[in-house]
Structure 1
């Protein structure tokens, strides 16, 4: 980190370096790039602590959201186990719901902070989708293996095909993107409205299980989410093929 230029650090989402000193000519010198005290005190800190201290507020929020994922999964599984024992611990359910809710809200918060305070960064571009997809997949997978209903298991967990479909679609998109980048050298990402609807419906399905809503059968909600997940996956695949054809890589030789 000590040899990193200020511009590169900012592109990674690192804020102004910690502290600083003034040289003999009176100009400020950053702690990351000066060798004398107090700058050299940063060298005694671990790289993780230094990096964390230099991260932008938006990226810190995103990082906290990522760290919430294992906490949510733990509480969700423990609650499911308490139901299996016949002694549901409702505080575990409420804790899992609260963690998931705070994590979901932070998704919009880090984006707002990044835009409002000009904290867009290359690191944020990487961390944000990891946090978003990680939270969504953890909810779907966890609520597929853990029963949350004290009365009817049909309302307490997702059918097995649902997480398989969601994971398969994401895997196909990821592999397709890698292939497209390898063959073409660039990827034009064009978000489709069906993908956004699929994400919203997946979130609704997760909420349906956690809140134990029963005025509409869970399978209907899951079916709607699954349908748009499938449609959006097909559309993204077709878009990838179109981009390959435009570059002449999908034509028969």
Structure 2
């Protein structure tokens, strides 16, 4: 297996997960900035690896498998850290919706791929918008403190709620696209 630049960026994103956790728990004032920066860097590598793969035709089966795994691991880790630090009903609910949808859609995509119908559950525009809103929300929630008078944490809370709602919307869209295949008894 040849490692491409996009796959290296994806592996870097996975390696940043324990760094994020460690930095998040360090007892210094600057850790919120560092945690937000690490997550933002990971988010940028997510976009960058896809762009490089498309632009320079550096696709690989390993990269196609690993990229969504890295994304889900980073997002789930950030959500767990945030909920642990801010254990409110709403924060836990939004995190559960986002993580639950990611698991459900991953299982749906795997099942549809097994049936040769993966194209029916490809990433849609609403999923891409959800990802952007979610990443910005998580950066804000990790950063936490007001910035130039803006209530960054509150903005992050509202964006996370919006991301959770977009998550539900996109999850329903994927399920609707797959439903004819799922209800067909011949696919059991």
Change (3 A) 1:181 1:61: closer
| Structure 2 spans left out of the alignment, 5+ residues | none
Partner deviation per Cα, 1:157-191 (whole Å, 9 max, x = no partner):
96111111111112222232333344x34322332
Residue number in structure 2 paired with 1:61: 9
Residue number in structure 1 paired with 2:179: 241
Residue number in structure 2 paired with 1:26: none
**TM-score of the pair, normalised by structure 2:** 0.80
Residue number in structure 2 paired with 1:100: 39
Partner deviation per Cα, 1:43-97 (whole Å, 9 max, x = no partner):
xxxxxxxxxxxx2222212211110111112212x15xx4xxxxxx123223222
Counterpart-to-counterpart distance in 1, 2:157 and 2:41: 26
Counterpart-to-counterpart distance in 2, 1:158 and 1:90: 26
Counterpart-to-counterpart distance in 1, 2:156 and 2:113: 39
Q: CA deviation at 1:217?
A: 5.3
Counterpart-to-counterpart distance in 1, 2:83 and 2:8: 30
| 8 A Cα contact 2:112 2:118, kept in partner | yes
| Structure 1 spans left out of the alignment, 5+ residues | 1-8, 15-54, 83-88, 148-152
For 1:4-19, list aligned pairs within 5 A.
9=1, 14=2
Partner deviation per Cα, 1:94-149 (whole Å, 9 max, x = no partner):
322222222222223323333343321111111211222222222122111124xx
Change (3 A) 1:97 1:221: closer
Aligned CA RMSD, in angstroms, stands at 2.7
Task: Give 1 or 2 for the bigger CA radius of gyration.
Answer: 1
Deviates more, 1:202-211 or 1:172-181: 172-181
Change (3 A) 1:128 1:99: same
**Relative contact order (alpha carbons < 8 A, sep ≥ 6): 1 or 2 greater?**
2
Counterpart-to-counterpart distance in 1, 2:61 and 2:118: 16
Q: CA deviation at 1:206?
A: 0.9
Equivalent in 68, 93, 110 of residue 161 of structure 1: 93
| Count of paired positions | 180
**TM-score of the pair, normalised by structure 1:** 0.61
| 8 A Cα contact 2:101 2:167, kept in partner | yes
Greater helix share, 1 or 2? Answer: 2
1:195 aligns with 2:133: no
Change (3 A) 1:59 1:223: closer
Residue number in structure 2 paired with 1:90: 29
| 8 A Cα contact 2:6 2:50, kept in partner | yes
For 1:1-253, list aligned pairs within 5 A.
9=1, 14=2, 55-76=3-24, 78-79=25-26, 82=27, 89-147=28-86, 159-182=91-114, 184-188=115-119, 189-212=121-144, 213=146, 214=151, 216=154, 218-244=156-182, 248-249=184-185
